[in-house]
Amino acid sequence: MTTDTTQGASLAPCGHCGMPCAPKEYHPYAACLMFKACHNSETVRANLDAVRARSPAPQGPSDAELEAARAAFDWDGWTDPKAAQRGFARAVLDRWGARQ
C-alpha cells in the first residue's frame, strides 16, 4: 500500500490497471480502461463523478407491480415439490414491498 494521501486517505494501486485507489472506492472496469488510456487518476475520477451525477438511483418495482406479481400466483394453492422455491420467491416479493 502506498502512502499517497492526495484524497485524504491512503491509496493502493488497482490490481488490474495500477490506478491509485482509496479503500472501498468505486472503481469499475471502465475506470481501468480509462486509466490505461490517459494515466491520470483525476481525469478518471472526474468522469466517474459526472456519470454518477447523471444516473438516477436504482429503483425497485413499484407497489402496483408488486401487487400484480402477487395476484398472478395462487400463494396458498401450492402442493407440488417446488412449492418451497416459490415460497422463497414470495418472501423476496414481500421484502421488496417492505422497502417501498
Q: Of 91, 96, 89, which is closest to residue 63 (Cα–Cα)?
A: 96
The confidence score (pLDDT) of residue 8 equals 60
Of residues 31 and 57, the one with the higher pLDDT is 31
The answer to whether residues 2 and 10 touch, using CB atoms and an 8 Å cutoff, is yes
Instruction: Answer whether 97's CB lies under 8 Å from 63's CB.
Output: yes
**What is the C-alpha separation between 28 and 47, in angstroms, rounded?**
12
In degrees and rounded to multiples of 5, residue 8 shows phi and psi of 85, 0
Q: Taking the model in full, what pTM does it have?
A: 0.47
How far apart CA 17 and CA 36 sit, in angstroms, is 6
Report pLDDT digits (tens) over 51-85.
Answer: 888 877 767 777 888 777 777 765 555 555 565 56
